[in-house]
């Protein structure tokens, strides 16, 4: 049996799957070692993928050639648009997953992929020589050697389950914890912190009175996450349901509060801010009575329902009491109790945007281990880690995703300098250029990257490129067309209630008026419509309507890119920079940040020094734009 | 190598050749060492003390010659404008004297400061943020007390506070809006767009006033241009001389004496005003006159106010009527002067109808007070007289303010029409740009311009 691989991926969660697939697909012989092959791609918490920010990540993973997008498109039980009424910059999809099908499909994909070998095993040691990674050792004593390692241990390292006053060593879903690897990381100079997260109880479907509750169906025509599924219709879907807490539930929670781990303080406080447990909500907002509880299916054939909003690690009796106080859940039978899990994650500032360790050469980390929370965040990092491990293997320049180009860029940029005492979760609020990073523009932003990296096949590239050009050419054509103030046109405009047509008006201007669509406009013009698919028309209309906004955003993008381009530590220390303060000089020469943008955002460069740096580099910016060079990323 | 130079610099810090007192500033580690060599102090106070004034004489140590009697004010590092030791020498405003003091300082170890170098040092020593640097750069070029007051307003942080408050208000709504956009299913009360729209309207109105104050600020800092317009021989040049109180323009009884526009500064009610004498309006007799008249028209176009000058001692001519026609069309402050009231009046008063008119005699000086009063009134009505409320913004700051206003206008216009993500983008832009007005965020465009002016890093 082969004992040497180019790339070894430790862990078969969402990060590990993407990392292993990317690595193997890019031609590296890859080994994926995970604690349990049957629980590869497990969703230990909510049965959904997507949402604002997260859905953007999934779209981008799809364009770059990752697996999550296709996998969820194929295995969802519901697909839904969110934020459609709030505008294109925040609109996104969210899917309810069939957890079982998702896993099954992912495992099949892994097995099918050439260059990829799967092994079940417990990795307890990293083999490192002179600060360079060499291989891994399993609990069984087995050793595998390699060039690059990607560790994606999720919530398993020294994991501890907490339920009321009880706690024991263990991973999600009653699996075992991974012991040993943390010590090995520490031994190699990597520091570790404790984080926690928790999950709500699952109940038996027939024990819930769904008929009393509000039904939340999906959208038949939302399309899927991957480009290929953009027009897919999901005729068959399962609904979610909504119920609320009331005084009785608050009362029940309060009664059991003394047994809440939050009160007992037998758990670290460093948990995800964005999904607090029900006990935390009530401790923090005691006057609030109504909290939403979403009841979500876990699959087509699953008998379990997930209770989004009732996350807790209070003891079983407490969970039973709370549930019986909620409309629709009065007789709910709990199949799996909610619990909290505490695990080892990396302390801040130890990996680059490429996911490579700053400490051990050839070591990459991704996913929950890096201090994020969520499947999509894990998958995105796994993809970037896999890509960069292989690029490094081939001695190629790394792929630095830019925050001006993708949510993935925002994620890795934020994450590599994230030092809050809580896991990181992506939202549109993290993205300052969210008009550019629109959900529908993912292909146009990233297809070139995907193709250049090598995860997008020639034929897929050509198809997407043709689609992209069709939209862009039509936008250009629209800018040359205009409507004459003929009587029929004016009457039509009147009828559509979009204002008068006193003189010749350009189509761009007309589309910017509220209420006028591309289809209507082309009808008035008696022009051929080059675009007929709804997604293409949507992109065209949004581009044109938001033109002014996009142009303003672009001015700032240029500035951010300038700062991103000054990589740290700087390769040439211009003597003019000697004027900077000692602190700033150290920052520029040290390997603490990946680029100047990060140092600035962290406040490590004073205003004065930044001003001076810009003055010193200022001339070069001009040269740069004169050359019209493309962004290196 | 470009190590930060820590030598001692000296320069005049009031505009040269104008004020009664000239301020010479010395900054750097050797400040007091140098002063001790050339300053003979009167009084008993020990020299130097922090924030103290010393009366004494500047004496050339080599010749023992007394150069001037001065007041020296001392500021000790780091509690000074530049963060270094500073001495400010208040000398008599005679350019020759000032020049000799500077020479003496240099001979004794100081270096002549480059333009903006004091401010640059202050900036480098972390003594001020970008807004203040802007203000200071205005102060540096300020040539009147009014302008200095405005620049000082800025340093007091009054406008900063105002802008910060407005920013907070917008931010409050933005945060809620963002919450609902980021977490659509979290039962966050979505914002009442129309309510937010109304509040943004209110904020806009406040910003309009602020922007006006800023506009006035820049108007005043450049000096308000007041052009004199009239037919030849009506007495424009005489009026200019009267207003200035000295014989600046050539006056003759030959029509067409003034051939080119002539500009002179003066304070009227503490407001800096540029009086512009022009070539008399008539059919040009030659090429030179034609060019002169062209310039007259340009001066009128650029002017903040125009004084129409008429000769009351003669019957009105076609030229007078034409001038009045033109004045009527101008959307500016207009005052008419009926000159030569010492002579028998032949002009028919009806032609002045609809205008503010001042009767005046340049020969006897009557009516001069009235013209000052009328101008002051105009300043007041325009909100220019009260320069304590005025704000001086640098070009970049003014641009940022403009952007913030535009963003808010877009936000308000879009209420009920646009999606809420647009509203968020507009509000975010307003908050960001207001931040730039205050210098709270570093922006390379702002910096580009500041560095252009202060030549840092060369
Ligand atoms: C109780 C609980 C609650 C959660 N709540 C939320 C939530 O509210 N919101 C949210 O967004 N996310 C939540 N999640 C997080 C979500 O499950 C993770 O973000 C996501 O699964 C992380 O993916 P990953 O690939 O990093 O790690 P995981 O999915 O955890 O996968 C890690 C993989 O590594 C393997 N592994 C670990 N160590 C070793 C080793 N030494 N040797 C071999 N294999 C190893 C494991 O077997 C596993 O296959 C929760 C998770 C849990 C367990
Ligand atoms: N009596 C009298 N003469 C005046 C008065 N003001 C000006 N004059 C005379 O009018 C003549 C023209 O005066 P200027 O001031 O040169 O007139 P102007 O409008 O500048 O003329 P141009 O430069 O030729 O356009 C001179 O002889 C002045 O002495 C006044 O108030 N009373
Ligand atoms: Mg004259």
**Is residue A371 within 8 Å of A424, Cβ to Cβ?**
yes
User: Rounded to two decimals, what is the model's pTM?
Assistant: 0.76
pLDDT score at A501:
82
Span A491-517, average pLDDT: 84
Span B160-179, average pLDDT: 83
Instruction: Grade residue B395 by pLDDT with cuts at 50, 70 and 90.
Output: low
Residue B138 forms part of a structural domain: no
- State percent of chain B over pLDDT 70: 77
State whether residue A167 is helix, strand or coil.
Answer: strand
Q: What is the pLDDT of residues B328-346, one digit of tens each?
A: 988 899 999 999 999 999 9
| Closest Cβ–Cβ partner in A90, A559, A616 for B457 | A616
Q: Do domains A4-192+345-447 and A202-342 have the same CATH topology?
A: no
Q: Which long-range contacts (CB under 8 A, 24 or more apart) does A576-585 make?
A: A576/A616, A576/B2, A576/B457, A577/A612, A577/A613, A577/A616, A578/B1, A578/B2, A578/B3, A579/A612, A579/B2, A579/B3, A579/B4, A579/B457, A580/A609, A580/A612, A580/A613, A581/A606, A581/A608, A581/A609, A584/A609, A584/A613
pLDDT score at B154:
52
Sign of CA dihedral A459, A465, A468, A470: negative
Q: What are the phi and psi torsion angles at B169 (to 5°)?
A: -60, -45
pLDDT score at A607:
61
Span A66-89, average pLDDT: 95
B342 and B252, same structural domain?
A: yes
Taking the Cβ of residue A618 and every Cβ of chain B, the question of whether any pair is shorter than 8 Å is answered with yes
Instruction: Grade residue B393 by pLDDT with cuts at 50, 70 and 90.
Output: low
**pLDDT of B14 above 70:** no
A388: region left, alpha or beta (phi > 0 left; psi from -120 to 50 alpha):
alpha
The number of the ligand 2 atom at minimal distance from the alpha carbon of B341 is 31
Count up the domains in chain B and report the number.
3
pLDDT score at B116:
60
Cα-to-centroid distance, B255 and ligand 2 (Å): 9
Residue B149 forms part of a structural domain: no
From the centroid of its chain, how far is CA B9?
Answer: 27
Interface subset of A 11-70, CB within 8 angstroms of B: 52-53
Which residue, A5, A66, A155, A9, is CA-closest to A383? A66
Q: What is the pLDDT of residues A503-512, one digit of tens each?
A: 888 888 888 8
Highest-confidence range of A617-631, B138-152, B289-303, B378-392, by mean pLDDT?
B289-303
Span B429-434, average pLDDT: 88
Span A379-383, average pLDDT: 98
**pLDDT of B49 above 90:** no
Span A277-295, average pLDDT: 89
Of all protein residues, the one whose alpha carbon is nearest to atom 43 of ligand 1 is A34
Taking the Cβ of residue B186 and every Cβ of chain A, the question of whether any pair is shorter than 8 Å is answered with yes
A85-99, A393-407, B437-451: range with lowest mean pLDDT: B437-451
pLDDT score at B391:
63
B235 and B108, same structural domain?
A: no
A43-52, B125-134, B364-373: range with lowest mean pLDDT: B125-134
pLDDT score at A621:
29
H or E element: which one contains B333?
A: strand B333-339
Instruction: Grade residue B11 by pLDDT with cuts at 50, 70 and 90.
Output: confident
How is B363-429 classified by DSSP, letter by letter?
TTTBTHHHHHHHHHHHHHHTT-S-GGG-----HHHHHHHHHHHHHHHHHHHHTTTS-HHHHHHHHHH
B242 and B207, same structural domain?
A: no
Domain limits of chain A? 4-192+345-447, 202-342, 458-549, 566-624
Q: Encoding tokens for residue B313?
A: 């001692």
B340 and B428, same structural domain?
A: no
The DSSP secondary-structure symbol of B277 reads: E
**Is residue B317 within 8 Å of B239, Cβ to Cβ?**
no
**Is residue B71 within 8 Å of B24, Cβ to Cβ?**
no
∠ CA(A205), CA(A206), CA(A208), 5° rounding? 70
Closest residue of chain B to A309, computed from CA coordinates:
B186
**pLDDT of A239 above 80:** yes
pLDDT score at B178:
83
B376 and B246, same structural domain?
A: yes
Taking an 8 Å cut-off on Cβ atoms, the answer to whether A86 and B457 are in contact is: no
User: CA-CA distance, B415 to B400, in Å (whole number)?
Assistant: 23
Instruction: Grade residue A8 by pLDDT with cuts at 50, 70 and 90.
Output: very high
Taking an 8 Å cut-off on Cβ atoms, the answer to whether A549 and B182 are in contact is: no
Taking an 8 Å cut-off on Cβ atoms, the answer to whether A86 and B126 are in contact is: no
**Is residue A26 within 8 Å of A454, Cβ to Cβ?**
yes
**Is residue A57 within 8 Å of A377, Cβ to Cβ?**
yes
**Is residue A413 within 8 Å of A403, Cβ to Cβ?**
yes
Q: Where a domain ends, among B325, B356, B381?
A: B381
Dmax (CA) for chain B in angstroms is 87
**pLDDT of A331 above 60:** yes
User: CA-CA distance, A109 to B443, in Å (whole number)?
Assistant: 48
The number of the ligand 2 atom at minimal distance from the alpha carbon of B279 is 25
Q: Encoding tokens for residue B6?
A: 């820590």
**Region A458-549: CATH code:** 1.10.10.1800
CB atoms inside a 10 Å sphere around CB A552: 18
| Closest Cβ–Cβ partner in B3, B422, B450 for A87 | B422
From the centroid of its chain, how far is CA A555?
Answer: 26
**Is residue A440 within 8 Å of A542, Cβ to Cβ?**
yes
| Closest Cβ–Cβ partner in B1, B2, B182 for A427 | B182
State whether residue B228 is helix, strand or coil.
Answer: strand
H or E element: which one contains A489?
A: helix A487-496
| Closest Cβ–Cβ partner in B129, B185, B421 for A90 | B421
B109 and B174, same structural domain?
A: no
* Fold adopted by A4-192+345-447: FAD/NAD(P)-binding domain (3.50.50)
Taking the Cβ of residue B425 and every Cβ of chain A, the question of whether any pair is shorter than 8 Å is answered with yes
Q: What is the pLDDT of residues B17-30, one digit of tens each?
A: 344 567 888 999 99
In this structure, what CATH number is given to the domain that contains residue B377?
3.40.50.300
Span A488-505, average pLDDT: 83
Span B35-59, average pLDDT: 86
Residue B150 forms part of a structural domain: no
State the nearest Cα–Cα gap between A506 and chain B, in angstroms: 20
Taking the Cβ of residue A562 and every Cβ of chain B, the question of whether any pair is shorter than 8 Å is answered with yes
Helical H runs in B13-144?
31-38, 95-107, 117-124, 130-141
Q: Of how many residues is chain B composed?
A: 458
Cα-to-centroid distance, A367 and ligand 1 (Å): 8
**Tokens 């008009």 sit on residue:** A435
**Is residue A136 within 8 Å of A33, Cβ to Cβ?**
yes
User: CA-CA distance, A324 to A337, in Å (whole number)?
Assistant: 14
Interface subset of B 115-134, CB within 8 angstroms of A: 123-124, 126, 129-130
Distances (CA, A) of A211 to A205, A240, B131: 12, 12, 63
In this structure, what CATH number is given to the domain that contains residue B428?
1.20.120.430
**pLDDT of A488 above 60:** yes
Which residue, B380, B234, B220, B382, is CA-closest to B372? B380
pLDDT score at A460:
98
State the nearest Cα–Cα gap between B421 and chain A, in angstroms: 5
Instruction: Grade residue B156 by pLDDT with cuts at 50, 70 and 90.
Output: very low
**Tokens 């001006």 sit on residue:** A404
**Is residue A55 within 8 Å of A425, Cβ to Cβ?**
no
Q: What is the residue-averaged pLDDT of chain A?
A: 92
Closest residue of chain B to A425, computed from CA coordinates:
B182
**pLDDT of B318 above 80:** yes
Q: What is the residue-averaged pLDDT of chain B?
A: 79
**Is residue B239 within 8 Å of B309, Cβ to Cβ?**
yes
Span B371-375, average pLDDT: 91
User: CA-CA distance, A372 to B146, in Å (whole number)?
Assistant: 57
Of all protein residues, the one whose alpha carbon is nearest to atom 13 of ligand 2 is B235
**pLDDT of B285 above 90:** no
pLDDT score at B141:
45
pLDDT score at B21:
67
User: CA-CA distance, B218 to B220, in Å (whole number)?
Assistant: 5
B193 and B332, same structural domain?
A: no
**pLDDT of B362 above 90:** yes
A312-326, B88-102, B407-421: range with lowest mean pLDDT: B88-102
Taking an 8 Å cut-off on Cβ atoms, the answer to whether A429 and B178 are in contact is: yes
**Region A202-342: CATH code:** 2.40.30.260
Cα-to-centroid distance, B326 and ligand 2 (Å): 22
B249 and B170, same structural domain?
A: no
pLDDT score at B148:
47
Instruction: Grade residue B448 by pLDDT with cuts at 50, 70 and 90.
Output: very low
**pLDDT of B144 above 50:** no
B352 and B438, same structural domain?
A: no
State the nearest Cα–Cα gap between A478 and chain B, in angstroms: 22
List the beta bridge partners of residue A304. Answer: A204
**pLDDT of B369 above 70:** yes
Which residue, A259, A328, A261, is CA-closest to A293? A328
Instruction: Grade residue A529 by pLDDT with cuts at 50, 70 and 90.
Output: confident
pLDDT score at A625:
24
Q: What is the pLDDT of residues A463-482, one digit of tens each?
A: 999 999 999 999 999 888 88
pLDDT score at A11:
98
Instruction: Grade residue B451 by pLDDT with cuts at 50, 70 and 90.
Output: very low
Span B340-369, average pLDDT: 93
Taking an 8 Å cut-off on Cβ atoms, the answer to whether A549 and B178 are in contact is: no
A113-127, A343-357, A361-375, B241-255: range with lowest mean pLDDT: B241-255
Better-predicted residue by pLDDT, A472 or B143: A472
What is the tally of helices (H) and strands (E) in chain B?
Answer: 14, 13
pLDDT score at A429:
84
Taking the Cβ of residue A549 and every Cβ of chain B, the question of whether any pair is shorter than 8 Å is answered with yes
**pLDDT of A97 above 90:** yes
Enumerate residues 6+ apart whose C-beta is below 8 A from B4.
Answer: A579, B124
Q: What is the pLDDT of residues A600-630, one digit of tens each?
A: 888 888 665 676 677 667 533 222 222 222 2
Instruction: Grade residue B135 by pLDDT with cuts at 50, 70 and 90.
Output: low
pLDDT score at B30:
93
Distances (CA, A) of A434 to A428, A497, A518, A547, A550: 7, 31, 24, 14, 10
B375 and B231, same structural domain?
A: yes
Tell me which residues have their CB closer than 6 angstroms to ligand 1.
A 10-16, 33-36, 44-45, 122-123, 152-156, 172, 178, 181, 197-199, 272, 275, 341, 367-368, 373-375, 378
**Is residue B34 within 8 Å of B110, Cβ to Cβ?**
yes
A221-225, B61-65, B184-188: range with lowest mean pLDDT: B184-188
State whether residue B329 is helix, strand or coil.
Answer: helix
Domain that holds residue B51: 9-122
Q: What is the pLDDT of residues A172-194, one digit of tens each?
A: 999 999 999 999 999 999 999 99
State the nearest Cα–Cα gap between A340 and chain B, in angstroms: 22
B113 and B199, same structural domain?
A: no
Instruction: Grade residue B392 by pLDDT with cuts at 50, 70 and 90.
Output: low
**pLDDT of B77 above 90:** no
**pLDDT of B247 above 90:** no
| Closest Cβ–Cβ partner in A546, A578, A614 for B444 | A614
**Is residue A598 within 8 Å of A419, Cβ to Cβ?**
no
B320 and B246, same structural domain?
A: yes
B276: region left, alpha or beta (phi > 0 left; psi from -120 to 50 alpha):
beta
């Amino acid at each position: 049996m082969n004992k040497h691989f180019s790339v070894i991926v430790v862990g078969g969660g969402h990060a590990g799957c993407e990392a292993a697939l990317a690595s193997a697909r890019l031609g590296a012989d890859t080994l994926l070692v995970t604690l349990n092959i049957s629980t590869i791609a497990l969703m230990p918490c909510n049965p959904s993928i997507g949402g604002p920010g997260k859905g953007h990540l999934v779209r981008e993973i799809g364009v770059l050639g990752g697996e999550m997008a296709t996998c969820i498109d194929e295995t969802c039980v519901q697909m839904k648009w969110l934020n459609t009424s709030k505008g294109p910059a925040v609109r996104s999809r969210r899917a309810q997953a069939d957890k079982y099908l998702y896993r099954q499909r992912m495992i099949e994909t892994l097995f099918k992929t050439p260059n990829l070998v799967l092994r079940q095993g417990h990795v307890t040691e990293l083999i490192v020589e002179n600060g360079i990674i060499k291989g891994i050792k399993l609990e069984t004593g087995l050793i595998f050697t390699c060039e690059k390692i990607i560790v994606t241990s999720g919530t398993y390292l020294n994991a501890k389950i907490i339920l009321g006053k009880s706690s024991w060593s263990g991973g999600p879903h009653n699996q075992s914890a991974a012991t040993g690897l943390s010590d090995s990381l520490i031994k190699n100079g990597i520091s570790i912190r404790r984080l926690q997260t928790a999950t709500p109880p699952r109940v038996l479907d027939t024990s819930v009175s769904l008929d009393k509750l509000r039904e939340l169906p999906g959208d038949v025509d939302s399309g899927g996450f991957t480009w290929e599924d953009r027009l897919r219709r999901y005729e068959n879907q399962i609904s979610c349901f909504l119920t609320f807490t009331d005084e009785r539930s608050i009362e029940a929670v309060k009664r059991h509060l003394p047994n809440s781990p939050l009160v007992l303080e037998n758990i670290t406080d460093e948990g995800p801010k964005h999904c607090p447990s029900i006990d935390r909500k009530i401790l923090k907002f005691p006057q609030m009575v109504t909290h939403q509880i979403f009841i979500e299916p876990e699959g087509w054939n699953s008998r379990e329902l997930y209770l989004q909003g009732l996350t807790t690690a209070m003891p079983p009796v407490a969970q039973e009491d709370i549930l019986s106080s909620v409309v629709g859940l009065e007789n709910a039978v709990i199949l799996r109790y909610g619990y909290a899990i505490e695990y080892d994650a990396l302390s801040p500032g130890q990996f680059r945007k490429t996911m490579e360790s700053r400490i051990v050469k050839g070591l990459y980390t991704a996913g929950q281990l890096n201090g994020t929370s969520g499947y999509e965040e894990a998958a995105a990092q796994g993809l970037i880690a896999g890509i960069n491990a292989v690029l490094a293997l081939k001695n190629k320049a790394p792929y630095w995703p830019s925050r001006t180009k993708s949510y993935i860029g925002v994620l890795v940029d934020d994450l590599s300098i994230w030092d809050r005492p809580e896991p990181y979760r992506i939202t549109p609020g993290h993205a300052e250029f969210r008009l550019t990073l629109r959900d529908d523009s993912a292909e146009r932003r990233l297809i070139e990257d995907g193709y250049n990296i090598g995860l997008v096949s020639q034929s897929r590239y050509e198809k997407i490129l043709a689609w992209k050009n069709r939209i862009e050419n039509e936008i250009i054509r629209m800018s040359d067309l205009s409507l004459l103030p003929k009587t029929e046109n004016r009457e039509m405009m009147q009828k559509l209630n979009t204002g008068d047509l006193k003189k010749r008006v350009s189509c761009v201007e007309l589309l910017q008026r509220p209420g006028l669509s591309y289809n209507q406009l082309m009808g008035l013009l008696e022009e051929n419509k080059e675009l007929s698919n709804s997604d293409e028309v949507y992109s065209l209309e949004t581009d044109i309507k938001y033109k002014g906004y996009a142009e303003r955003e672009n001015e700032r993008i240029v500035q951010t890119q300038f700062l991103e381009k000054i990589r740290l530590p700087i390769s040439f220390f211009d003597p003019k920079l000697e004027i900077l303060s000692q602190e700033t000089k150290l920052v520029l020469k040290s390997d603490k940040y990946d680029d100047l943008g990060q140092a600035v955002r962290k406040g490590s460069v004073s205003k004065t020094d930044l001003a001076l740096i810009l003055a010193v580099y200022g001339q070069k910016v001009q040269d740069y734009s004169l050359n019209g060079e493309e962004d290196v990323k | 190598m470009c190590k930060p130079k820590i030598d001692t610099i000296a320069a005049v810090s009031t505009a040269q050749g104008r004020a009664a007192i000239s301020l010479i500033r010395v900054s750097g580690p050797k400040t007091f060492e140098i002063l001790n060599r050339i300053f003979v102090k009167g009084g008993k106070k020990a020299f130097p003390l922090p924030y103290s004034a010393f009366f004494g004489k500047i004496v050339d140590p080599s010749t023992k010659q007394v150069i001037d009697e001065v007041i020296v004010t001392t500021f000790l590092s780091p509690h000074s404008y530049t963060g270094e030791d500073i001495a400010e020498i208040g000398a008599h405003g005679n350019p020759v004297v000032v020049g000799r003091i500077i020479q003496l300082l240099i001979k004794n170890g100081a270096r002549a400061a480059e333009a903006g170098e004091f401010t640059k040092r202050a900036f480098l020593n972390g003594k001020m943020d970008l807004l203040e640097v802007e203000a200071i750069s205005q102060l540096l070029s300020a040539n009147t007390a009014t302008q200095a007051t405005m620049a000082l307003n800025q340093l007091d942080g009054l406008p900063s506070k105002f802008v910060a408050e407005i920013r907070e208000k917008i931010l409050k709504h933005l945060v809620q809006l963002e919450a609902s956009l980021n977490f659509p299913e979290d039962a966050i009360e979505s914002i009442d767009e129309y309510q937010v729209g109304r509040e943004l309207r209110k904020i806009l109105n406040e910003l309009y006033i602020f922007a006006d104050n800023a506009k006035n600020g820049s108007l005043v800092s450049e000096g308000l241009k007041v052009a004199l317009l009239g037919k030849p021989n009506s007495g424009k040049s005489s009026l200019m001389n009267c207003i200035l109180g000295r014989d600046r323009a050539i006056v003759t009884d030959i029509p067409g004496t003034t051939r080119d526009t002539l500009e002179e500064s003066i304070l009227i009610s503490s407001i800096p005003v540029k009086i512009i004498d022009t070539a008399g309006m008539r059919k040009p007799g030659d090429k030179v006159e034609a060019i002169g008249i062209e310039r007259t028209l340009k001066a009128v176009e650029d002017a903040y106010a125009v004084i129409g000058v008429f000769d009351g001692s003669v019957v009105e001519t076609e030229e007078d009527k034409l001038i009045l026609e033109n004045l009527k069309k101008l959307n500016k402050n207009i005052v008419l002067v009926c000159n030569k009231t010492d002579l028998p009046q032949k002009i028919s008063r009806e032609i002045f109808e609809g205008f503010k008119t001042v009767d005046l005699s340049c020969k006897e000086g009557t009516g001069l007070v009235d013209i000052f009063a009328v101008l002051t009134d105009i300043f007041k009505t325009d909100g220019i007289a009260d320069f304590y409320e005025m704000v001086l913004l640098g070009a970049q700051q003014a641009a940022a303010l403009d952007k913030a206003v535009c963003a808010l206008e877009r936000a308000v216009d879009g209420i009920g029409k646009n999606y809420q993500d647009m509203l968020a983008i507009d509000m975010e832009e307003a908050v960001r740009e207001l931040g730039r007005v205050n210098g709270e965020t570093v922006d390379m465009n702002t910096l580009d311009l500041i560095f252009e002016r202060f030549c840092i890093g060369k």
